[in-house]
């Protein structure tokens, strides 16, 4: 696999397609260019998805995200484009992509895109109580 930017997203078979599990990724070093000024824009992307049959290969995702470095694109457009490309490759049960854009002109922008597969319902949330840091039984 190349170590150059690429718009190709590779995937591999989900090792446990019979079960819902969340894949959570932090992508803190995304860069592209402002389409109006040509100045760099920086974002922290968070990707959460519940795979169906396929999972994204991490190195290809890294090269894919890198491919936007010299591209002029609006925050909303690039977030949705990345989401659409991931959807086309993965067709997950659930996916949420959030982009937190660093301040530009005193404004922070957050863009979030979400998908739920038709007929898929999330399992109920289980809340487990936290253990106290100090036990009343200890002296």
How crowded is residue 22: how many other Cβ atoms within 10 Å of its Cβ?
A: 11
Structure tokens that stand for 14 in this block: 């989900």
Q: Which residue among the candidates 20, 34, 48, 91 is catalytic per the annotation?
A: 34
Q: Is 82 helix (H, G, I), strand (E, B) or coil?
A: helix
Q: Which residue among the candidates 20, 32, 41, 52 is catalytic per the annotation?
A: 41
Between CA 31 and CA 101 the distance in angstroms is 10
| Annotation marks residue 34 as catalytic | yes
Any long-range contacts for 134-139 (C-beta under 8 Å, 24+ apart)?
none
27 with 46: CB under 8 angstroms? yes
Between CA 60 and CA 5 the distance in angstroms is 9
> Which residues have a catalytic role annotated?
34, 41
């Amino acid at each position: 696999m190349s170590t150059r930017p690429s718009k190709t997203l590779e995937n591999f078979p989900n090792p446990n397609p019979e079960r819902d599990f969340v894949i959570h990724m932090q992508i803190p070093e995304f860069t592209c260019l402002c389409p109006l000024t040509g100045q760099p824009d920086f974002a922290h992307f968070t990707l959460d998805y519940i795979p169906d049959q396929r999972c994204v290969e991490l190195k290809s995702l890294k090269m894919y995200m890198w491919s936007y470095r010299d591209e002029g694109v609006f925050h909303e457009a690039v977030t949705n484009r990345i989401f659409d490309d991931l959807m086309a490759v993965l067709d997950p049960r659930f996916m949420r992509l959030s982009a937190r854009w660093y301040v530009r002109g005193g404004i922070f922008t957050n863009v979030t895109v979400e998908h739920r597969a038709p007929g898929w319902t999330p399992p109920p949330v289980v809340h487990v109580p936290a253990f106290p840091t100090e036990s009343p039984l200890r002296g």
